Amino acid sequence: MRKPIIIGNWKMNMQIADGLVFLNDLEKESYNIDVGIACQAISLIPMKEQAKKVLIGAQNTNDELNGAYTGELSVDLLKEAELDFCLVGHSERRQYYNESDETVNKKIKLLLEKQITPVVCVGESLEQYENKQTKEVIEKQIELALQDVDVKNCVIAYEPIWAIGTGKTATPEIAQSVCRLIRKKIASLTSVEIANKVRIQYGGSVNPENIKELMACEDIDGALVGGASLKINDFKKLISY
Ligand code: PGA
């Protein structure tokens, strides 16, 4: 049985004090799923210090351990802050900051060495989707990201780029079929047993109205939520789907 995991990705939003109020409100309830928040770097320590149940994670880290990389955030600091997870390869990082499958793979390995869960994001563009290249693109991203990686300790997030922040959610059928494809690919790279343990999230315009249907899909074990994770009432509704 895979424990569902819903993570709010605040991206470059939310002031420190507002985030702490949000977290306090969120922690008043109890859930039998994993709930996480990925916030901006400066908020990570106060958030983690206050969190009792909610998992706290970074939105990115560097693929080198240390050195002259101005403006970057190292895995060692994430470890020192006792963070639970870190997003890797979000499409916004791939699109705007030239993140490659190779750096994604390096980051995953560094995070796993420090026992921080990588939340590995994959997804096809609108053009690739329309050209029916989804299978090929996703399989390649999975294969390269997970090369020589202990996959059972990763969470995978399938986020079609055309669904992120656009209000266009993939239908549960599309989301399920790609999440199934990802599980099959992981099985071919490792084993069916390992693939069946890996949690796979869907992300892209998830909201309180569509979460239930998405979570009912066999291979969808959670959600990575952007916009709807910024409003406490929406996020609470989401996690109690
Ligand atoms: P969205 O973002 O929910 O606003 O579409 C999802 C994400 O980028 O993780």
Which residues contact ligand 1 via a Cβ below 6 A? 9, 159, 164-165, 203-206, 224-228
Residue 188 has pLDDT above 90, yes or no: yes
CA torsion 55→153→88→156, rounded to 10°? -90
Per-residue pLDDT of 92-114, as tens digits, reads 999 999 999 999 999 999 999 99
Question: For position 203, what pLDDT does the model report?
Answer: 96
How far does residue 165's CA lie from ligand 1's centre (Å)? 5
Name beta bridge partners: 9.
Answer: 38
Ligand 1 pocket test, candidate residues 158, 159, 229, most atoms within 8 A of CB = 159
Question: For position 58, what pLDDT does the model report?
Answer: 98
How far does residue 190's CA lie from ligand 1's centre (Å)? 29
Residue 33 has pLDDT above 90, yes or no: yes
Q: Which two tokens stand for residue 125?
A: 């563009």
Confidence band (pLDDT; 50, 70, 90) for 167? Answer: confident
What is the distance of C-alpha 190 from the center of its chain? 21
H helices of 146-227, where?
Answer: 172-189, 192-195, 211-215
Question: For position 61, what pLDDT does the model report?
Answer: 98
Across residues 63-72, what is the average pLDDT? 97
Residue with the bigger pLDDT between 176 and 166: it is 176
159 catalytic? Reply is: yes
Question: For position 137, what pLDDT does the model report?
Answer: 98
Q: From the candidates 102, 113, 159, 193, which is the catalytic residue?
A: 159
Query: Counting atoms of ligand 1 from 1, which one is nearest the CA of 205?
Result: 5
Q: What is the pTM of this model?
A: 0.97
Residue 55 has pLDDT above 90, yes or no: yes
Residues in the chain: 241
Confidence band (pLDDT; 50, 70, 90) for 1? Answer: confident
Query: Counting atoms of ligand 1 from 1, which one is nearest the CA of 91?
Result: 8
Residue 169 has pLDDT above 90, yes or no: no
Confidence band (pLDDT; 50, 70, 90) for 164? Answer: confident
Query: Counting atoms of ligand 1 from 1, which one is nearest the CA of 157?
Result: 9
Distances in Å between the alpha carbon of 129 and those of 34, 162, 241? 30, 8, 28
Distances in Å between the alpha carbon of 170 and those of 58, 164, 177, 196, 233? 26, 10, 10, 23, 23
Query: Counting atoms of ligand 1 from 1, which one is nearest the CA of 9?
Result: 9
Distance CA 219, CA 58 (A): 25
How far does residue 53's CA lie from ligand 1's centre (Å)? 23
Mean pLDDT of the chain: 97
Ligand 1 pocket test, candidate residues 5, 7, 9, most atoms within 8 A of CB = 9
102 catalytic? Reply is: no
Across residues 220-226, what is the average pLDDT? 98
Per-residue pLDDT of 124-154, as tens digits, reads 999 999 999 999 999 999 999 999 999 999 9
How far does residue 176's CA lie from ligand 1's centre (Å)? 17
Question: For position 70, what pLDDT does the model report?
Answer: 97
Across residues 12-33, what is the average pLDDT? 96
**Percentage of the chain modeled with pLDDT above 90:** 95
